[in-house]
């Protein structure tokens, strides 16, 4: 008889945009691997125990695992493209690489459910972790960032979504998983607001009011952010899924965007960052970076939910 194969269920990398989110990045002590493994295997039960209070709030948690602890934690070799975040040092700005072994991307329509899930999650992880970064994001008006532009409108939809985000037969052992890159950007809103709307639109590549794309600049001329962040080759255009969230505190004078990108191929986001920080052509970097500074940068692999549950 042929062996029955267990169906692969991806994590909810494609969960719909919510009103609230938490991005939690932690590092793991080497002697805590067993505790962490058990916590990750049971995370679905924790999500259910919190989310049942309001099923309409669409609570979810996507888990990413970094290259440093992958093999010790999972007992498997690294996925084909999993590696530490590659720092990109340009003539004007740097995409920095920062520590992180685990990512928890918590999403819900209710901030209190995000809070409760994070609390219980940290309780289950125990004392063998250290928080490297924690950001609470919120939806801002009609899915805009704090710079005033709609964010994420180029995301793939329908059948293009899994094709862009989920590993397939090219790395069959990790099919249904997704590479994840996160960066925390802080904005200089005062400098940005001194620009005219037309200047802002030229930098972003979209009209501010209705989000329509502007024409691409000719070769050899300063390109807009939307052009530099679009990756194409002979096989066509390579999409990623962005689920960015604004965050900040007016009292503290902190304003930012938390970038999170899910992709089937890690090289797509790496190439995007090279174009932004080094420029295309080289020397003409993404002018958005003059107003938005990258403070973190970490890479993870979000295995399928089937793989994650199997850790137990």
Active site residue 14: no
Contact 277, 90 (CB under 8 A): yes
DSSP for 155-206, written as a single string: ---TTHHHHHHS--GGGGGGTT-EEEEEEEEEE-HHHHHTS-HHHHHHHHTB
Q: What is the CA radius of gyration of the chain?
A: 20
End-to-end Cα separation, the chain, in angstroms: 28
Contact 131, 26 (CB under 8 A): yes
Contact 7, 172 (CB under 8 A): no
Angle, nearest 10°, between helix axes 111-125 and 43-51? Answer: 150
Output the six-digit token pair for 135. 């950001």
Output the six-digit token pair for 153. 């409108």
Please give the Cα distance from 135 to 139 (Å, whole number): 13
- What stretches of the chain show up as alpha helix (H) in DSSP? 33-41, 43-51, 67-74, 111-125, 160-165, 189-193, 197-204, 225-228, 266-278, 305-309
Output the six-digit token pair for 151. 């964010």
Catalytic-role residue among 101, 151, 239, 286? 151
Output the six-digit token pair for 74. 């999972």
The distance of Cα 156 from the centroid of its chain, to the nearest Å, equals 15
Contact 66, 83 (CB under 8 A): no
Residues forming the active site: 151
């Amino acid at each position: 008889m042929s062996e029955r194969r267990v169906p692969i269920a991806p994590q909810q990398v494609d969960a719909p945009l919510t009103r609230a989110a938490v991005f939690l990045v932690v590092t793991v002590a080497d002697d805590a691997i067993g505790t962490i493994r058990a916590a990750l295997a049971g995370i679905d039960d924790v999500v259910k125990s919190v989310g049942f209070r309001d099923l309409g709030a669409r609570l979810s948690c996507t888990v990413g695992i970094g290259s440093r602890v992958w093999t010790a934690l999972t007992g498997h070799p690294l996925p084909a493209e999993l590696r530490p975040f590659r720092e990109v040092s340009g003539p004007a700005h740097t995409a920095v690489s920062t520590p992180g072994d685990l990512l928890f991307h918590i999403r819900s329509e209710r901030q209190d459910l995000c809070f409760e899930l994070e609390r219980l999650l940290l309780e289950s992880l125990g004392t063998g972790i250290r928080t490297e970064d924690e950001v609470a994001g919120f939806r801002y008006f009609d899915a805009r960032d704090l710079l005033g532009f709609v964010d994420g409108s180029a995301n793939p939809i329908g059948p293009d979504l899994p094709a862009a985000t989920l590993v397939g037969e090219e790395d069959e052992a990790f099919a249904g998983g997704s590479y994840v890159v996160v960066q925390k950007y802080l904005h200089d809103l005062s400098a940005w607001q001194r620009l005219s709307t037309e200047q802002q639109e030229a930098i972003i590549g979209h009209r501010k009011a209705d989000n329509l794309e502007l024409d691409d600049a000719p070769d050899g001329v300063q390109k807009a952010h939307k052009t530099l962040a679009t990756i194409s080759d002979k096989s066509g255009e390579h999409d990623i899924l962005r689920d960015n969230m604004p965050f900040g505190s007016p009292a503290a004078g902190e304003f930012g965007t938390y970038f999170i990108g899910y992709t089937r191929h890690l090289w797509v986001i790496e190439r995007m960052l090279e174009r932004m920080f080094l420029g295309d052509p080289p020397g003409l970097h993404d002018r958005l970076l003059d107003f938005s500074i990258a403070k973190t940068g970490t890479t993870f692999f979000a295995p399928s939910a089937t793989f994650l549950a199997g850790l137990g």
